[in-house]
Chains A and B, each alone.
Chain A
Amino acid sequence: MRRRDFLRHSTVAAAGLSLIGRPEALHGILSPTALSPVLSDDRRDLAMRALNAAQLAGADYADVRINTNRNQGISTRERRLLGVSDNVTSGFGIRVLVDGTWGFSASSIVTTTEVEEVARVAVAQARSNRAAQIEPVRLAPYEIETDGRWQSPIEIDPFEIPIEEKVAYLFDANEGALGVAGVRFVNSSMFFLREDKFFANTDGVVTDQTIFRCLPSMNVTAVSDDNSDFQSRNSTDIAPMGLGWEHVINSDLRGMAPRLGEDAVEKLSAPSVDPGSYDLVLLPTHLWLTIHESIGHPTELDRIFGMEADLAGTSFIYPLEDYLGSFRYGADWMRVVGERSSFGGLSSVGWDDEGVQPQDYDIVRNGILNDLQTTREQALWLEDWYESQGVEVRSKGNSYAQSWADVQFQRMPNVNLMPYPEGDVSVEELADGIERGILIDGHGSFSIDQQRYNAQFGGQVFREIRNGQIGGMLKDVAYQLRTPEFWNSMDLAGGESTYFMGGAFGDGKGQPGQSNAISHGCPATRHRDVTVINTARSV
């Protein structure tokens, strides 16, 4: 989605948000859910019983999430249906705080006796953990919403579209790619999610939200005549979005399929890149992932404080006082915003998973690190910084759990790089002035260290830039970066007309691992003198 459309749609989203507290207004937008096995009134009653049981058992604070998730997946290859599945899972999770120590328990058996039993298990578990307590958990203040309603701004409920229409769409798209000489394999799929999420806590917060996600995708493979080479092209121009069936229609996988096939075939004969230093033009279909890895993750406050040290890692932003308010991420005009309000953003919600209405905030302002991702527990870790800035000590609303069975913790909002503020610079203008460079379209291979310094990224399509002209295709390209130098090597970015929101469903973090879904909007960018390696090998 282009930034212009995004801004236009944001007005619609704002109107959507005005529905808060008017549940009757939701009817007509969303068809009734025949599949939700737990009715709204039942959920409220179950939630109150759970919270009451937790408090009686000794919890100082408790929250409960009762969720029903439905997902539908359709996958095909060439002219064959690989699988169709339609899945529903429901259950609840209860989190409690006892003398400053967390406990969490969950169950798929949604009954009054089970919610009370699970609440007691969570409290007992918190007591087990309390012995080792060093610093008790405290929670930052927030506004209490007693009847919050929100839903993703969908136009067409994807679960209302007949399955045969979806299969026919994919088969049709596959034919478009198979019609290209040299294409041997096509895999395509559609995935839809609807999550009904009911939240209540002992502060009196009650929210009821319905979240949709949608992704049509395709991967095309061309094989050389003698089987000595194969190359693939993924439909990275289409991002997963928090939208409905209209996203499938608007993204036009069918129309795009022949071009994906042509790209895969052209890669077979493309010259292999000469390794060395190049100027790069990164299209937003590629750049969103670099933003995710090198700006999104290192600015998670729990990582900076060591809470994720055993798996996801920590952050190069350490010690915090040497970075917050002074670390130069990039040029003066660089602005990065944490937004859970982005239209169609995968992380967009009305309230987070501890009942906080998310704020939009500048993670990078005027090129300087300005703020970090927080939950209620973590906002207080930045008390001194916020007070020195005259800013309210408040969670950014970045708490999230992937399902009823998982405890909520800090997860990334949509982290968006704003377009160049001084004119609508085009991709061609970015290429202009490059003597020796490469344009990268689409995300590919990606890897970054546990503190988010050293990264390596591939892509889908690489085009040579010579003396300002974008030319033919290259292959076997990957670039390596060190985060601080890389963003400071960005000397220009595209304007609003180049803005696009990419994203992913499977952003992993936590133990046990949880998947977050996030979007990252960004323009095209230009970076000077980046190290490019050649990834071809002979074995």
Chain B
Amino acid sequence: MSDRRYLSEAELREITQRALAFSQADHCRVNVSSVVDGNTRFARNQMSTSGDILSNTLTVTSAFGQKVASSSANRFDDESLAEVVRRSEELARLVPDDPEYLGELGPQDYPESDSFYESTADLTPDERARAVATVTEQALAEDLISAGFLPHRAGANCVATSEGLFVYGIDSRVGFSTTIRTPDGTGSGWAGSGANDWADLRVPELGAIAVQKAIQSREPRDVEPGRWTVIMEPTAAFNMVNLMVNQLAARPADEGRSFFSAPGGGNKIGQQFIDERVTIHSDPEDPRIHSNAFNGEGLPNRREVWIEDGVLRQLNYDRYWAQENGREPTGFPSGWYMAGGNDTLEEMIASTERGLLVTRFWYIRSVDPRTLLFTGLTRDGTFLVENGQITHPVKNLRWNETPIFLLNNLEMIGQPVRVGSGLGSSVWVPPMKVRDFAFTSTSDAI
């Protein structure tokens, strides 16, 4: 990789100040992201495509009184900055008042968040290719077919306002995902993980897990749909719990159009609604779940406990809704941590008379927002557990289920691990065993 880099704090400070100097609006905010992306993709045991991309984006939000509009561009010369400021102002003058606009923020105190690693930022196409080869070689040695993806990103983002706020953060992320299939098309295994520090990502080990799953999942048998005891590996558990975390918003709940709406009005804050072993928090200063210290308005993201011992403690309040309801705005958790227990995956299997072990879920879509009912399928490693042992692979199944039901039917819970194989924020989720999970049909898909 060349020395083309994302913009430094000094460069971003200079660019945002220059943009703000063009502003004639009552309030102005400038957001900039500057990111270097690299990725290597492989399929059929060889590299397929790859990319190294430098990308800068600047967005200007202008307000005259309560009239607000935004415009963005990715060129930072004077002429381009003047143009993007002018365009946002022109739009803002023409639109009707937004009664909920609260102006821009002045300087704030931010938590310390350090999620940047040179090891990730400096990753080269050669190093990516060598890492991928440790997986394709394992697949070739077992006469299997590998495909997968190794993306990394390092970059900066900043917020500057006409009220004197300037905040800058840098972040690095790397992910790895591989799906390994048998040539006869009857077996498929997956493994993946993510990290901020390239040194934490153990690509060869992930390859070995996927190879084993591919071999073990050959020639799956049918099982009947219905209610099953399910042991979810951490990725599968994340796939389900994330559906609930994504809905932790105060306003739709207060408006009566969310699972978190309380019957008769208001929301469910203070109510126990799931198993008491469930606690979920976010905290930019927690080294396990580094996430942005500020949101797009420049508002600090502070530690929040969203669910504690199964009780809803907090919902996401934006500035306006917080003011309306006499609360503090919360920011939103881009990274989060679900506390666990001490049960191991092996103990979950050993204690199961008849159940299914699931590697991951796929194509998850909302079916009914009232109950958080979603549908999706199992994928790349689904196994029958009988009398405390994995007995054979099974065909994939479609489910229609809600994370609320699942988290009320919790039987065992393990130690949380980092999940997610792309460039998403750091999220930690434990493996779980639940009862009465609703599968509605089988699929022939391998």
Q: Are B368 and A536 in contact (CB under 8 A)?
A: yes
Which residues 156-188 in A have Cβ within 8 Å of B in the complex? 162-164, 167, 171, 184-185
Q: Are A81 and B368 in contact (CB under 8 A)?
A: no
Instruction: Report how far A535 CA is from B373 CA in the complex, Å.
Output: 8
Contact with A along B346-373 (1 / 0, CB 8 A): 0000000000000000111111111111
The interface size of chain A toward B, counting residues with CB under 8 Å, comes to 93
Instruction: Report how far A451 CA is from B69 CA in the complex, Å.
Output: 43
Instruction: Report how far A405 CA is from B153 CA in the complex, Å.
Output: 14
11 contacts between A and B (CB under 8 A): A84-B69, A88-B72, A106-B55, A128-B126, A184-B255, A310-B147, A310-B179, A316-B445, A409-B49, A533-B440, A539-B404
Q: Are A227 and B261 in contact (CB under 8 A)?
A: yes
Instruction: Report how far A446 CA is from B133 CA in the complex, Å.
Output: 36
Chain B residue nearest in CB terms to A448? B363
Q: Are B72 and A87 in contact (CB under 8 A)?
A: yes
Checking B92, B402, B446 against A451 with a beta-carbon cut-off of 8 angstroms, the contacting residue is: B446
Q: Are B52 and A121 in contact (CB under 8 A)?
A: yes
- Within the complex, what minimum Cβ distance (angstroms) separates A146 from chain B? 27
**B168 at interface (Cβ–Cβ under 8 A)?**
no
**B148 at interface (Cβ–Cβ under 8 A)?**
yes
- Within the complex, what minimum Cβ distance (angstroms) separates A464 from chain B? 20
Contact with A along B330-351 (1 / 0, CB 8 A): 0000000000000000000000
Instruction: Report how far A37 CA is from B68 CA in the complex, Å.
Output: 25
**A332 at interface (Cβ–Cβ under 8 A)?**
no
Stretch at the interface among A189-197, A206-214, A300-308, A490-498: A300-308
Instruction: Report how far A452 CA is from B446 CA in the complex, Å.
Output: 10
Stretch at the interface among A147-155, A365-373, A420-428, A476-484: A476-484
* Nearest 7 A/B pairs, CB to CB: A454-B443, A129-B47, A451-B445, A449-B445, A309-B147, A511-B149, A128-B125
Instruction: Contacts A89-B57, A316-B444 known; list 15 others, CB within 8 Å.
Output: A90-B75, A91-B55, A101-B47, A102-B50, A108-B75, A129-B47, A306-B44, A306-B181, A307-B43, A308-B147, A319-B185, A453-B444, A531-B441, A535-B400, A539-B408
Assuming A167-B96, A313-B445, A450-B362, is B145 touching A223 (CB within 8 A)?
no
Stretch at the interface among B34-42, B299-307, B429-437: B34-42
Q: Are B52 and A309 in contact (CB under 8 A)?
A: no
Chain A residues closer than 8 Å to B207, beta-carbon distance: none
- Within the complex, what minimum Cβ distance (angstroms) separates A39 from chain B? 14
- Within the complex, what minimum Cβ distance (angstroms) separates A230 from chain B? 5
- Within the complex, what minimum Cβ distance (angstroms) separates A34 from chain B? 9
Which residues 327-378 in A have Cβ within 8 Å of B in the complex? none
Q: Are A108 and B56 in contact (CB under 8 A)?
A: yes
Chain A residues closer than 8 Å to B440, beta-carbon distance: 456, 480, 533
Chain B residues at the A interface, C-beta cutoff of 8 Å = 1-2, 4, 37, 39-57, 59, 68-75, 80, 83-84, 87-88, 91-92, 94-96, 98-100, 124-126, 128-129, 132-133, 136, 145, 147-149, 151, 177-179, 181, 185, 188, 190, 255-257, 259, 261-265, 362-373, 375-377, 379, 396, 398, 400, 402, 404-405, 408, 440-446
Q: Are B363 and A449 in contact (CB under 8 A)?
A: yes
Checking A90, A93, A103, A454 against B377 with a beta-carbon cut-off of 8 angstroms, the contacting residue is: A454
Stretch at the interface among A8-16, A58-66, A130-138, A242-250: A130-138
**A22 at interface (Cβ–Cβ under 8 A)?**
no
Instruction: Report how far A232 CA is from B84 CA in the complex, Å.
Output: 37
**A324 at interface (Cβ–Cβ under 8 A)?**
no
Chain A residue nearest in CB terms to B124? A128
Q: Are B95 and A106 in contact (CB under 8 A)?
A: no
Chain A residues closer than 8 Å to B72, beta-carbon distance: 85-89
- Within the complex, what minimum Cβ distance (angstroms) separates B151 from chain A? 6
Chain A residue nearest in CB terms to B362? A450
- Within the complex, what minimum Cβ distance (angstroms) separates B105 from chain A? 18
Assuming A316-B444, A450-B363, is B88 touching A37 (CB within 8 A)?
no
Chain B residues closer than 8 Å to A184, beta-carbon distance: 255-257
Instruction: Report how far A90 CA is from B44 CA in the complex, Å.
Output: 34
Q: Are B53 and A449 in contact (CB under 8 A)?
A: no
Chain A residue nearest in CB terms to B264? A227
Chain B residues closer than 8 Å to A120, beta-carbon distance: 2
Chain A residues closer than 8 Å to B84, beta-carbon distance: 88
